[in-house]
Amino acid sequence: MQPLRIGIIAAEPSGDLLAAGLMRALKAEMPQLQFEGVAGPLMMNEGIDQWEPMDSLSVMGLFEVLHHLPRLLRLRGQILARWRDTPPALFIGVDAPDFNLTVETRLRERGIPTVHYVSPTVWAWRTSRVKTIRRAVDLLLTIFPFENAFLESHQVSAHYVGHPLAGEMPLRPDRAGARERLGIPGDAPVLAVLPGSRSGEVGRLARPFLQTAQVLQREIDGLRVVVPLVNDRTRDLLMAERQRYTPSLNAQVVVGDARNAMAAGDVVLTASGTATLEGLLSKRPMVVGYKVQAATYWLARLLKLVKVPHVAMANLLADERLAPELIQHDCEPEHLLPPLRRFFQDDALRERIAARYTEIHQSMRSDTNREAAAAVIALMKERGIV
């Protein structure tokens, strides 16, 4: 059986997870598939030919991108040149819309079918990008139930596949097991602190998050603080900030254990992003804090780029602000502390939030990887690739 090459690009841990699951499901149906492109460690485990590590694309913010723009444009040009000489049968861009949509547009112009996995947040901000999506993709795989109606109203072919985390994570988190794995006593109060997956996020959020945790640790007898980071680089950055601002904070810093930290926690203090979805699926009350570069925040406000009432995905899915959002100047200990205190003190509130999060979790459960693979294979059959 002849190999069939599939190009794929992912740029961050959440994309690595989605891409690896899709690759695994596709290979189960079509063992002749070979994957190549920009990949993370989970995709590497599935056997991709990695042309570039995904960290090369992990840049956030309107102005932050400008510093890296020449390098990113050069990398994109190199990838497109390589696929011009040896075109793949199909291309899958996983999130990273500012990079992937251009790749998809150029490949589609040359007759290569394109799939984009994870809808850009056109329903939230920069709505005009939907025209670019329409030109770029043959199929858009969506992971949240409210996205398809908007996309289809703009003539974008969309297929809802659910979110793989909803299928992977249990409806009832194993709090005792998570605490045992982390070496935390079963009756201790626990705050899980998640300052983001990127170095820029950790650099901006470590100080206010750690200072907030330090105040709570002084107020709540026996409070355990667990801080999971995605890699050694972000851990080292956080440890430097901890030494600088909160050397007396007693915190357990771990790498790659975010789900255990959330399951073990009573309350979560987290950056905005995929972590708020994981907090929802862990049924834990959250306070969400976030900071971006000042110029990025100023421009977003000036141009009124944000079109939704909530920043955190957990609040968008709940359609109410169950997780307080403290953004930019409000992301400081004096604002973060009151809602965190309330969550620790109010058992009934924690139970109500857990019940609502369980309802949402149930509604999102599906075999996402298989559903996404089936949609991709259907497109390949439609185009005569297989």
Give the separation between CA 133 and CA 185, rounded to whole angstroms. Answer: 50
Of residues 383 and 256, which shows the higher confidence score?
383
- pLDDT-derived band at 13 (thresholds 50, 70, 90) equals confident
Give the separation between CA 116 and CA 375, rounded to whole angstroms. Answer: 12
Q: What are phi and psi of 77, to 5 degrees?
A: -60, -40
Give the separation between CA 138 and CA 213, rounded to whole angstroms. Answer: 47
The answer on pLDDT for 336 being more than 50 is yes
Q: Report the share of the chain in percent with pLDDT over 90.
A: 74
Give the separation between CA 9 and CA 70, rounded to whole angstroms. Answer: 19
Q: Quickly tell me which residue has 């977003």 as its tokens.
A: 300
Provide the pLDDT for residue 306: 53
Provide the pLDDT for residue 287: 98
321 close to 359: Cβ distance less than 8 angstroms = no
2 close to 86: Cβ distance less than 8 angstroms = no
What is the Cα Rg of the chain in Å?
21
Listed in sequence order, the residues at least 6 apart from 377 whose beta carbon sits closer than 8 Å to its beta carbon are: 26, 29, 30, 386
Look over the chain and give the mean of its residue pLDDT values, rounded to a whole number. 90
- pLDDT-derived band at 68 (thresholds 50, 70, 90) equals low
Distances (CA, A) of 356 to 121, 161, 283: 24, 22, 8
Distances (CA, A) of 182 to 212, 227, 236, 275, 350: 22, 11, 20, 19, 22
Provide the pLDDT for residue 133: 95
Angle at 163 between CA 157 and CA 168, to 5 degrees: 150
Q: Quickly tell me which residue has 């850009």 as its tokens.
A: 120
Residue 75 C-alpha from the chain's centroid: 23
In the chain, residues under CATH classification 3.40.50.2000 are 4-162+366-382, 170-364
Give the separation between CA 353 and CA 277, rounded to whole angstroms. Answer: 13
Pull the structure tokens for residue 316: 């968008």
- Domain 4-162+366-382 listed as CATH 3.40.50.720: no
pTM of structure: 0.74
Give the separation between CA 103 and CA 93, rounded to whole angstroms. Answer: 8
- pLDDT-derived band at 243 (thresholds 50, 70, 90) equals very high
The answer on pLDDT for 374 being more than 70 is yes
The answer on pLDDT for 65 being more than 60 is no
List the end-to-end C-alpha distance of the chain, in Å, as a whole number: 12
> Which of these, 175, 201, 174, 202, lies nearest to 190 by C-alpha position?
175
Q: Quickly tell me which residue has 């006593």 as its tokens.
A: 185
Provide the pLDDT for residue 346: 97
Distances (CA, A) of 88 to 111, 142, 229, 320: 11, 23, 35, 43
Average pLDDT of the segment spanning 68-79: 86
Per the CATH hierarchy, to which homologous superfamily does domain 170-364 belong? Answer: Glycogen Phosphorylase B; (3.40.50.2000)
99-140 confidence digits (pLDDT tens) = 999 999 999 999 999 999 999 888 766 788 899 999 999 999
How would you list the strands of the sheet with 251-255, edge to edge? 251-255, 224-229, 190-194, 267-271, 286-290, 325-327
What is the DSSP annotation of 152-220?
Answer: HHTT--EEE---HHHHHS-SS--HHHHHHHHT--TTS-EEEEE--SSHHHHHHHHHHHHHHHHHHHHHS
The answer on pLDDT for 298 being more than 60 is no
Distances (CA, A) of 103 to 26, 75, 86, 90: 22, 11, 15, 12
